[in-house]
Amino acid sequence: VGLPYCGPNVIDHFFCDSAPLLHLACADIHIIELLDFLSSLVLLISSLSLTVVSYVYVISTILKIPSGQGQRKAFATCATHFIVVSMGYGISIFVYVHLSQKSSLHLNKILFILSSVLTPLLNPFIFGLRNETMKDALKDSLAKDRNFLKGMRSK
């Protein structure tokens, strides 16, 4: 479907997303926004449903592990993965699953930056915390920072 464009030809976003592109059109886009909303809802909810089903299988398998320590380690691994997946789904649902996106285009840009920059930046940190060496290094670093701040205050 071709839309008439009669204004600026610059998309106010850092990648080509449907909402900023639609809002450049000088036509009634309510039906297109509704279709965009419905397709986003179906895609995100179906994908989320498959992810939840897989987590149910994983958790049921973990609960069958006989040792408590084994269960804790498995849950720790799943918890870090769950945090990263939740961030992705949370941002996507917040951005795409609402009818009119015009009022929140600037907020969406911020959320997309968080999603595309913060999540990959946090991944090594989140998954690294499962490693005892990483935990010890983080504790040592925090202790050094605390001692440094105490030394600065006493001067």
pLDDT at residue number 153 = 76
Residue 40 lies in a domain: no
Residue 81 lies in a domain: no
Q: Answer yes or no: is pLDDT of 70 > 60.
A: yes
Q: How far apart are CA 93 and CA 141, in angstroms?
A: 36
Residue 21 lies in a domain: no
pLDDT at residue number 134 = 72
Residue 79 lies in a domain: no
Positive or negative CA dihedral for 149, 151, 154, 155? negative
Where residue 138 falls among pLDDT bands split at 50, 70, 90? Answer: confident
Could you count the other beta carbons within 10 Å of the beta carbon of residue 118?
13
Residue 38 lies in a domain: no
DSSP 24: T
Domain that holds residue 123: 105-154
Number of domains in the chain: 1
Residue 141 lies in a domain: yes
pLDDT at residue number 123 = 74
Residue 121 lies in a domain: yes
Where residue 19 falls among pLDDT bands split at 50, 70, 90? Answer: confident
Positive or negative CA dihedral for 86, 105, 121, 125? negative
